[in-house]
Structure 1
């Protein structure tokens, strides 16, 4: 079911700069029982949370969760008010244990291929979102869980986070984008070693190899992601989208073509109201009021 229910709730969150608590209205949409969207409001309007919530299976990705992920990502892509996405887990001490191997055991080869193709497509849709995406990792991100966070723009982990691509131990390969995104992030040699051996590595190693942008004390990764989201949320939304497009598309081609792409992206923001507002706010020494136009 695309959207099982929608309701208002109250959410409390602490800031990293003080111990004060702020009440914020939360619009919660459930796309499937394991997948929920949280749309923050008030001063945090524009920040969207995508939460995995399948505690009985450590957020293992089965058919229902995959369907929920796809529907939620499609909803975000259609939402003009969304400016930043934070992907996290509602289950303590685990981000995602990977594919649901109990479901996998009863699939025939054709069904397995169809599922993996759909998983790969879903992660590509996550990667192709026009807004910045931030993955929050507390606990284990294994197999498909690691492939999921590789599809995000930024990754922040807690000190107890662990990572692995164990697929070769099951006589398969990371088939949802892992063999392609991991070497692009950490380098070819490191990616080969991690995929060939399937070994687990911890948060400190993840930080040292550049897999994650920040490693913070356990339990504080979401607050760090919220802090970064708020910083992004204050910037010109069209500029942020064009910057992401220029970076992502430019990295796939040689430099002269990439510079031409950058020029095209820059031209798209020249005649916007936001650009003029940014100049006016700078001259008047005030915070800009961007409207995304």
Structure 2
């Protein structure tokens, strides 16, 4: 049974057993809010990764969620990265006991068929920055600090940073950040394209929710195909991208939203897209997530 938040009235997904460090709320406007709830630093522990996978699977299966916003609890950090105290326990089997599952979680977020927005406040480091990179858009407040400090521990970002960062900011800037481990301000992150918007201090979540609500009112199928087309193009030839774009165009031109779009255009009014989000069958390899 789902419960309602007593303050916001939003429906809250069922809690998993034990300490809940990943919260998933579904708002009435179609925006899901996934909160890393381990203040003050909201670290990515193995338990947090497990719960992140569970929450992402729920989002993928819930047709009400048309946009996902990811944020961190408290005012100190979006996510300060991995829990370094776990390293001693997993070093000998770090891939199987830690990194493989983290990569599964980041890839699952990246692959959601809806727009995703990271609302970055405070520090966003290491695994936290990798989580933000898995999102489509990144909104940071003016006081945010972002970095990939892993090299200082003699390691590197093993959950997507080394390949997602170059795709966002370009190879040279990515290597500069990864080699040095330096932290950059929100303004510098905006200048190099690492974040898409900078807000007043403390306003990143509110702005992300505003953008999320606007996207949630859009045509779900078209937004889904924009996302998949743009991401897939990174590994496609031009010919492959053209073929995919033509196939997707056929889908939207015969899809559920075009009649409303054309009617709104003719009547000189904003469109009201109400067609539900499509839900695909869950891949067999994901069965058993709980």
TM-score by length of 2: 0.89
Distance 1:195 1:252 in 2: 22
Deviation at 1:111, TM superposition (A): 4.1
**8 Å CA contact 1:249, 1:261 repeated in 2:** no
Q: 1:39 aligns with which of 26, 33, 53?
A: 26
Matched, 1:291 2:271: no
Distance 1:10 1:283 in 2: 43
TM-score by length of 1: 0.89
Residue 49 of structure 1 is matched in structure 2 by 33
Q: Map Cα deviations across residues 213-235 of structure 1 (whole Å, 9 max, x no partner).
A: 00111111111111211221221
Matched, 1:118 2:73: no
Q: 1:270 aligns with which of 253, 257, 273?
A: 253
Which sits farther off after the overlay, 130-139 or 283-292?
283-292
Write 1 or 2 for the structure with the bigger share of strand.
1
Distance 1:230 1:216 in 2: 17
Superposition pairs of residues 59-70 of structure 1, within 5 angstroms: 59-70=42-53
Q: Map Cα deviations across residues 63-84 of structure 1 (whole Å, 9 max, x no partner).
A: 1111110000011011122110
Deviation at 1:113, TM superposition (A): 4.5
Which sits farther off after the overlay, 229-238 or 70-79?
229-238
Q: Please, which runs of 5 or more residues in structure 2 have no aligned partner?
A: 278-290
Q: 1:253 aligns with which of 236, 242, 249?
A: 236
Q: 2:114 aligns with which of 131, 135, 139?
A: 131
Residue 57 of structure 2 is matched in structure 1 by 74
**8 Å CA contact 2:90, 2:98 repeated in 1:** no
Distance 1:11 1:234 in 2: 24
Q: 2:3 aligns with which of 4, 7, 13?
A: 7
Q: 1:280 aligns with which of 250, 263, 269?
A: 263
Residue 182 of structure 1 is matched in structure 2 by 165
Number of residue-to-residue matches in the alignment: 273
User: CA 1:139–1:78 in 2, change beyond 3 Å: closer, same or farther?
Assistant: same
Distance 1:288 1:199 in 2: 45
Secondary structure, aligned partner of 1:155: strand
Q: 1:88 aligns with which of 68, 71, 76?
A: 71
Deviation at 1:11, TM superposition (A): 4.3
Stretches (4+) displaced over 4 A: none
**8 Å CA contact 1:83, 1:237 repeated in 2:** yes
Higher RCO (Cα < 8 Å, 6 or more apart): 2
Distance 2:95 2:274 in 1: 46
Secondary structure, aligned partner of 2:155: coil
**8 Å CA contact 2:42, 2:73 repeated in 1:** no
